[in-house]
Amino acid sequence: MIRVSEIDYGSEQYRLECALRHRLLREPLGLNLYDEALEKERGFRHFGAFEGDRLVGCLIAVPLEEDVVQIKQMAIETSLQGRGIGRQLMIEVEANLRGEGASELLLHGRETALGFYERLGFAKEGERFLEVGIPHYLMRKSLAI
């Protein structure tokens, strides 16, 4: 059973989130998450997917405007991908943000994850671009009812 909950910046859960993001999103690219300015994340919202007490997935929600939020650095434990954890995480975070007044989500989707985001209702916009050295697309989803 997966439980989705918000993670407080600077908490032990946040430390686990950073370790997961580093291992899954930065290390394979030869990058180090801890070289980034993590202090800026204090103003972001962090969400985790937990199996018991174990953090198995995470994402960051960054407020851009009053009703626009960017989703960043989504990561699901590699051995658990394909079990619907990422979908559940996105759906629950989206519902939370919608309930708080967000009307639009955007993200930079890795080219390899486009299908995942499209199945969740995101549409790609514009041309492919490189971010952290790999191809991405801007993707957007309206939360208007």
pLDDT digits (tens, 9 = 90+) for 48-59: 999 999 999 999
Note the pLDDT of residue 37.
Answer: 85
State both tokens at 125.
């916009």
Class of domain 2-142 as given by CATH: alpha beta
Note the pLDDT of residue 83.
Answer: 93
Helices (H) and strands (E) in the chain, counts: 3, 7
Identify the segments of the chain with pLDDT beneath 50. Answer: none
Note the pLDDT of residue 145.
Answer: 64
Give the pairing of strands 68-76 and 104-110.
parallel
| Residue 46 to residue 119: CA distance in whole angstroms | 23
* Domain locations in the chain as residue ranges: 2-142
